[in-house]
Structure 1
Amino acid sequence: MSQISARLDQGRPYVLGLFRIVVGLLFLCHGAASLFGVLGGAGGTGGTVPTGSWPGWYAAVIELVGGALVLVGLGTRAAAFIASGAMAYAYFKVHQPMGLFPLQNGGELSAMYCWSMLLLVFTGPGALSLDTVFSSSRATDRGREPVAA
């Protein structure tokens, strides 16, 4: 049993990276749909949210920018934190007043994105991220610095 766990543990950073990429891409698509009317548009109507409207336009910008940052793994924890907060706001302000449970109030996506992004805040980006590339290049650069005598 421990061999199986060890093999699964080896793949953890890559699966986490794939999770981050998929969640980021889906989140980005929601923002693009709301801002640009692509992929069915805002709410599947083909339209866009009015520029500057509260909270729809701001949520769409967070979805687009935050989703892109999470997708490529750049500033993952900060972007995911802001995105998680935006989705918590969406759930409690927009959906929860219509019913207690997500299945009753249509807030499943907001709840899932909120918790998915919160998970990334605590786990980090995993493998295949720009955060990892930049942190490893900084570590390499630090290793080349001359030692003071």
Structure 2
Amino acid sequence: EDELRMIDTNVKGLHILTKLFVKDFMAADRGYILNVASSAGLMPGGPLMATYYATKAYVTSLTGSISEELKMAGSRVKISALCPGPVDTEFNDVANAQFGVKAISAEFCAKRAVEGMFAGTLIIVPERGLGLAAKAAQLAPRSLSLAVTGQLQSGKQAR
């Protein structure tokens, strides 16, 4: 049930809103769309958090595909996906979230997101090191990336 709600929010909700805004912005031939994904969306998968990783991969895939469609149509509308690692928010305290790496501030994340969006950056990764790690995960054999991600997630409850 929790996983289906996650899919409703992270996939269905984002899909519906993105398509609505794309349609309106294309009619005006201007606008920016910033979809919030996660660094999880750049990985080949996430053992113990499979649904979360899959929904975030959907966000990055949809965003990239729509970006190309907009270019093909000659549109001035821009779309980006924000893919941060852990972000320090009040939600983390409520959810008792624990991370294996240091969280960035919400302010830093938001600043980088807006800068990237207005620069027309497709995939925005606020943390430099995380962007390199995501590239390495994409280049490594899938089985190795999944094993490493599984080890990093091993302290978390499976979802």
Q: Normalised by the size of structure 1, how large is the TM-score? A: 0.28
Of Structure 1 and Structure 2, the greater strand share is in 2
For the pair shown, the structure with the greater C-alpha radius of gyration is 1
Q: Normalised by the size of structure 2, how large is the TM-score? A: 0.26
Could you say which structure has the greater relative contact order, defined with CA pairs below 8 angstroms and 6 or more residues apart? Answer: 2
Of Structure 1 and Structure 2, the greater helix share is in 1
